[in-house]
Structures are given as C-alpha cells and as structure tokens.
Amino acid sequence: MSNIPIFLSSDNNYAPFVATTIASICDNTKCFCEFYILDSGIEEDNKDKIRNLKNIFNNFKIEFIKIVPEKDLENIEYKNACHHVSISTYNRFLIHEIKPELEKIIYLDVDIIALGDINTLFECRLDGYSLGAVPEKESNQKYKTELDLDLQHQYFNAGVLLINNRDFDSKKLFDAERAYRDKLKWADQDVLNIVFANNYKILDKKFNFMTGEKEQENIVLRHFNTDLKPWHFDEGLKTSYVLNLQIFWHYAKMTDFYDEIKNLVKYKTMADFNKKRLLIIMEKRKNA
C-alpha cells in the first residue's frame, strides 16, 4: 500500500476546516496520508492545533508550504464575483512547481468530509487522462460558450481532483487565467475546466458528493459546495437542505477547534434558517 499525497489549501480563517477534513480522512482509511497544506497565512498556534490530531491518529504526516499570494500569485487578480471563494484557492496552480517529484496526487477543498476510504479514490485509474473529476449536475451551456468550452465538455467541480502531476503545468494554468480573467465566474474552477476541457476522466459522484444530490449510501467524500456550510447550522439540527451535518460535527468535535467552530453557527433552529431563506428568496424576486 502506497502513501497517499493529499493537497489542501487554506488561509488562517479556514484552518479549523483543514483539521476537520484531515480527521475525517484519517478516521476512514488504513493508508498513510501525506498532507501538504498550501498555506496562505495560517497562524502558528492554529498549525499546532492541526498537528495535535497526531494525538488521535497515527496514519498521517503534515507539511505546511507557505504561499505568499502577493508574490507567488502575483499575476492573479482576485475578483469578488465568487463571494465564498478565497484567493488561496489559486494556490493549487503551484502544486507541480512545489512537488514535481510526486506523480499522482489528490487535491481537496476543505469544505469536504470523508465518509469512506480515500484510498478508493487514489486507486482510480486515470487511463491516460491528466485529471479525474466529478461533473456538476447542471452546467450552463451559454456560460460554456463564453469560456470557449466545447458544448460536449461536462463542466466539472474542482473541489475534488485526482491529478496526474506531470500534466499539471503551472504556466498553462496561469496563462489561461490571464486569457479568460474577465469572463471567469467561478475563479480557478473555470480555469481548470478550460485547461482540461475534454481531457479528464469522469469519476463517480460518490467521490465528490455535492449539496442538493439525492441521499445515497456509498459516499466517499461529502463536499459542502454551496454557501450553506455545515458550520452555519447547530449540530443538533436535522435538515434536508444540508445532508450529513451530524458527521461534520462529529469530526469537528475531535479537533482543537471545536469551540471556535461552534461560534460560527448562524442557525440555532430551523426557524432561524427559514427566516433567512425567505429573505433571500424575496431579495432574488426583487432583483429578477
């Protein structure tokens, strides 16, 4: 059994979720995981809190790789269009430059919790493709034209990527970002779709199970991909809007960030949430 290299990307605000993601992965695999954290400013005491997961799990190691966006990502112009996307998501364009010796790697967003063995993803064959990813449920055909994407291309979600690192050329990615900068709606996810259009292996949706999908049994990675994040909902709540809330809180509780994460809760009751939803719907109608 080989080690599994897993890249995560985070600034200081997302440090608690780096910990929840790592805890859930280690708890569900017998493999040894090498975590490489593309670090845009995680504070030392938060790094220690993440490392403290060593007290619970012995099947992982962590390397923090400092990224200075103003320097390492100097060409990226951050657009506010994607309100819950942080510039640190672009860190992943540097993976090949940072670790050229790694051949096959996994990249994960940190709004992801493992429910199954990550090794089942790592063992997927790429069959000559540069990338493995899961298509999004709805893809906007008109938008694909704006990005010069072939209409046959199935727009994929970039929260879970199985990467053939030899093909993950940083320059190609930065060049595409520059060429399409004014048209991007979903930041680096659009760039990845442009660069790897019609050149990716479609993976089963159990490897990137997104919000809004019908509940299923064999989920390996649960991606809380919308702006309804599990940490916004009290751990006691049950809602069909955000499935698998309890499992997120189960892992949050294992980390040294538990109290901090509890402070992020916006909805203590479903009535709080429904009130908020109504406001959003009314706002949308007004703007329509």
Contacting positions for Mn ion (CB under 5 A) = 109, 111, 159, 225
**CB of 230 vs Mn ion, minimal distance in Å:** 12
Output 193 or 225, the one with its CB closest to Mn ion.
225
**CB of 159 vs Mn ion, minimal distance in Å:** 4
Output 72 or 109, the one with its CB closest to Mn ion.
109
**CB of 18 vs Mn ion, minimal distance in Å:** 13
The identity of residue 235, as a single letter, is E
**CB of 228 vs Mn ion, minimal distance in Å:** 12
Tokens of 202: 């479609």
User: In angstroms, rounded to a whole number, what is the distance separating the alpha carbons of residues 45 and 61?
Assistant: 17
Tokens of 166: 């030899």
Output 24 or 31, the one with its CB closest to Mn ion.
24
Cβ-proximal residue to Mn ion, closest one: 109
**CB of 66 vs Mn ion, minimal distance in Å:** 22
Output 31 or 131, the one with its CB closest to Mn ion.
131
Residue 88 φ/ψ region, left for φ over 0, alpha for ψ in the -120 to 50 degree band, beta for the rest = alpha
Output 28 or 211, the one with its CB closest to Mn ion.
211
44-48 long-range contacts, Cβ below 8 Å, gap at least 24?
Answer: 46/12, 46/15, 46/16, 47/15
Q: How many CB atoms lie within 10 A of CB 100?
A: 12
Q: Which residues contact 115 (CB under 8 A, 6 or more apart)?
A: 24, 28, 219, 220, 221, 222, 244, 247
